[in-house]
């Protein structure tokens, strides 16, 4: 395959960036999108140019490190992570636009790499349980109703990649925050902090400068893990409940 | 507590949802009342008079009307202020646009902000036209709402402003009702089809119902 790549290049957070055009030949349709970028970078290194910086880690679709807005869609045209997107999803001769996640809470560090530590701070605000840690407890020590377990698992699938923020027209982190809140709030292990968790995580989400929800639904469409839009509805319900229960 | 609510994006959205539902409730009542125009000037003018004695003998003359007006004014102001503040925040949260863009949201979703502005301007015109009579075309007659409505819809611009605004209202209600349900935590997978159906039904019935009035005047059914 022969491709024309238009890639966002930005030297550092303080320098304005721009789209750079690269022609890339000899791309196999069995390559992953990141392997295609590896080939591009090898060519750039041989030519003595700066390689394109992009985030990646496990390349198995489970760590949440890879990002990239490909042709205007977070993680590209397939419902998966960029590392699990393959070049067979594109045609020979295609022009592909590659941009970083865009949100004021996710500033660009270099090229396609953005700073997602705002997510870490949202987690620190309440995305944990205060149960004693140690050896894994016996699985049946705390019974969990089947429906609750399914609900928790569905939301626990969130890998914190930030595609929801990138896709949202308002740069909102509602789907990420709701996935984390719902995952823990439905379980008995998470119930002692049920109210403070949702209040604190939402307050931190606001403090990080993420936008608000307009129910556009772009986040759930982009989510590689299929976190449903109703996750946000469930968090709204938890938040309303918590404001009634907790006096602040 | 109230401040926690107002300072949170979720709280402001809940204010928007609640006030939006109040306004949808008002629109339904307003439409039902307005339908009396198809039963002649006697019935319509009597309805207009009843609005002033609504709640009697408990309420003094026009008190019921003024209570309704104050509730609606509060709803409109809270709705608009929340929308303005949230929109400012949303635009700030996404300062740089993507080079490669494709509109994927529904038309109703994309036009919520400007549609809302259009509706705000329409409400001002509508009150100046048919409540105070300030901008009314040709002799506004206090206590003769039937004739006033006919006068307004006998002008091309009266019809144009009204019909455009009602189409915008339909769009706004379509996304707004469903969104309010999500914001207030009432939505889920099993209810979603029902909620979307109610939103679409509300949008269609309200839009078609209100537009039937200028169409009635234009076709001579109401004259």
- Write the DSSP string, A185-222: HTSGGGGGGHHHHHHHHHHHHHHTT-B------HHHHH
CB-based burial, B208-219: b 16+ in 10 Å, e otherwise: ebbbbbbebbee
Residues A11 and A122 in one domain: no
C-alpha to C-alpha distance for B148 and B54, rounded to whole angstroms: 21
Residues A64 and A136 in one domain: no
CB contact under 8 A, B188 and A199: no
> How many domains are contained in chain A?
2
Domain B12-95+105-219 listed as CATH 3.30.160.40:
no
Residues A129 and A28 in one domain: no
- Which of B5, B95, B182 lies at the smallest CB-CB distance from A236? B182
C-alpha to C-alpha distance for B193 and A225, rounded to whole angstroms: 23
Pairing relationship of beta strands A3-9 and A95-99 according to DSSP bridges? parallel
Task: Please list the alpha-helical segments (H only) found in B35-111.
Answer: 41-53, 63-93, 107-110
Task: Please list the alpha-helical segments (H only) found in B131-188.
Answer: 145-152, 156-183
pLDDT given for residue B1 in this prediction? 65
Residues A157 and A101 in one domain: no
Average of pLDDT values for B127-153? 92
CB contact under 8 A, A236 and B112: no
Q: B142 vs B90, which has greater pLDDT?
A: B90
C-alpha to C-alpha distance for A231 and B36, rounded to whole angstroms: 44
**Who contacts B147 (Cβ-Cβ below 8 Å, separation ≥6)?**
B41, B141
Residues 182 through 211 of chain A touching chain B, CB cutoff 8 Å: 199, 202-203, 205-206, 209-211
CB contact under 8 A, A206 and B188: no
**Who contacts A50 (Cβ-Cβ below 8 Å, separation ≥6)?**
A44
CB distance from B95 to chain A under 8 Å?
yes
C-alpha to C-alpha distance for A78 and B184, rounded to whole angstroms: 32
C-alpha to C-alpha distance for A60 and B156, rounded to whole angstroms: 63
List, for chain A, all residue ranges whose pLDDT scores fall below the cut of 70: 248
CB distance from B100 to chain A under 8 Å?
yes
What is the rounded average pLDDT for all residues in chain B? 94
CA of A229 vs chain B CAs: smallest distance (Å): 9
CB contact under 8 A, B112 and A214: yes
CB distance from A103 to chain B under 8 Å?
yes
**Would you say A222 and A241 are in contact if contact means Cβ atoms under 8 Å apart?**
no
Q: What is the ipTM of this complex?
A: 0.92
**Would you say A69 and B57 are in contact if contact means Cβ atoms under 8 Å apart?**
no
CB contact under 8 A, A236 and B89: no
Q: Distance from CA of residue A155 to its chain's centroid?
A: 13
| N-to-C CA span, chain B | 54
What is the rounded average pLDDT for all residues in chain A? 95
**B93 neighbourhood in chain A, CB within 8 Å:** 103-105, 170-172, 209-211
Q: Kindly tell me if the per-residue pLDDT of B135 is higher than 70.
A: yes
Residues A139 and A63 in one domain: no
**B99 neighbourhood in chain A, CB within 8 Å:** 6, 8, 19, 97, 99
**B14 neighbourhood in chain A, CB within 8 Å:** 236, 240
CB contact under 8 A, B184 and A240: yes
Residues A64 and A9 in one domain: yes
B223 pLDDT tier (thresholds 50, 70, 90): confident
Instruction: Return the domain boundaries, chain B.
Output: 12-95+105-219
- Which of A56, A84, A109 terminates a domain? The answer is A109
The position carrying tokens 């003595």 is A48
Residues A127 and A218 in one domain: yes
C-alpha to C-alpha distance for A205 and B172, rounded to whole angstroms: 27
- Which of A58, A82, A109 terminates a domain? The answer is A109
pLDDT given for residue B108 in this prediction? 87
CB contact under 8 A, A215 and B11: no
Residues A105 and A121 in one domain: no
Average of pLDDT values for B81-107? 91
B interface test, pick of A17, A19, A98, A170 with most B CB neighbours within 10 Å: A170
Token representation of residue B198: 């109610």
C-alpha to C-alpha distance for A157 and A53, rounded to whole angstroms: 27
Residues A37 and A129 in one domain: no
Residues A91 and A199 in one domain: no
pLDDT tens by residue, B142-199: 889 999 999 999 999 999 999 999 999 999 999 999 999 999 999 999 999 999 999 9
CATH of the domain at A237: 1.10.1060.10
CB contact under 8 A, B184 and A209: no
Residues A93 and A179 in one domain: no
- Which of A109, A132, A159 terminates a domain? The answer is A109
What is the span of the domain harbouring residue A122?
117-245
Q: In what order do the strands lie in the sheet with A18-24?
A: A18-24, A3-9, A95-99, A69-70, A73-74
Within a 10 A sphere around the Cβ of B198, how many other Cβ atoms?
14
Residues A140 and A198 in one domain: yes
pLDDT tens by residue, B188-216: 999 999 999 999 999 999 999 999 999 99
């Amino acid at each position: 395959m022969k491709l024309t790549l238009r890639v966002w290049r930005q030297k550092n957070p303080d320098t304005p960036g721009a789209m750079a055009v690269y022609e890339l030949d000899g791309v196999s349709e069995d390559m992953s999108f990141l392997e295609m970028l590896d080939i591009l970078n090898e060519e750039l290194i041989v030519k003595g140019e700066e390689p394109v910086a992009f985030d990646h880690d496990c390349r198995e679709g489970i760590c949440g490190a890879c990002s990239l807005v490909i042709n205007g869609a977070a993680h590209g045209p397939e419902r998966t992570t960029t590392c699990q997107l393959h070049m067979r999803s594109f045609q020979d001769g295609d022009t592909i636009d590659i941009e970083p996640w865009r949100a004021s809470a996710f500033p660009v560090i270099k090229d396609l790499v953005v700073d997602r530590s705002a997510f870490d701070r949202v987690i620190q605000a309440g995305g944990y349980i205060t149960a004693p840690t140690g050896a894994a407890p016996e699985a049946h020590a705390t019974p969990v109703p089947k429906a609750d377990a399914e609900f928790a698992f569905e939301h626990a699938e969130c890998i914190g990649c930030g595609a929801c923020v990138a896709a949202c027209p308002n740069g909102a982190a509602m789907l990420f925050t709701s996935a984390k809140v719902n995952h823990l709030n439905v379980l008995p292990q998470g119930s002692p902090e049920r109210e403070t968790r949702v209040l604190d995580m939402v307050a931190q989400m606001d403090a990080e400068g993420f936008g608000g929800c307009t129910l556009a639904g772009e986040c759930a469409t982009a989510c590689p893990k299929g976190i449903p839009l109703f996750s946000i509805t469930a968090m709204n319900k938890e938040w309303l409940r918590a404001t009634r229960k907790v006096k602040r | 507590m109230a401040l926690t609510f107002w300072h949170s994006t979720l709280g402001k959205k809940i204010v928007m949802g609640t006030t939006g539902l109040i306004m949808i409730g008002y629109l339904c009542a307003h439409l039902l009342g307005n339908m009396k125009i198809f039963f002649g000037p006697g019935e319509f003018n009597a309805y207009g008079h009843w609005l002033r004695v609504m709640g009697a003998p408990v309420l003094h003359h026009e008190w019921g009307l003024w209570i309704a007006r104050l509730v609606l004014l509060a709803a409109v102001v809270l709705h608009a202020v929340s929308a303005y503040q949230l929109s400012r925040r949303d635009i700030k949260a996404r300062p740089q646009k993507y080079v490669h863009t494709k509109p994927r949201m529904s038309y109703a979703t994309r036009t919520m902000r400007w549609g809302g502005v259009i509706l705000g301007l329409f409400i001002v015109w509508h009150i100046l036209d048919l409540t105070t009579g300030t901008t009314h075309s040709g002799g506004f007659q206090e206590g003769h709402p039937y004739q006033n409505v006919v006068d307004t819809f006998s002008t091309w611009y009266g019809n144009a402003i009204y019909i455009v605004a009602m189409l915008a209202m339909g769009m706004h209600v379509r996304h707004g009702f469903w969104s309010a349900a999500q914001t207030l935590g009432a939505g889920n997978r099993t209810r979603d089809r029902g909620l979307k159906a109610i939103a679409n039904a509300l949008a269609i019935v309200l839009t078609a119902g209100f537009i039937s009035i200028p169409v009635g005047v234009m076709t001579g059914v109401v004259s």
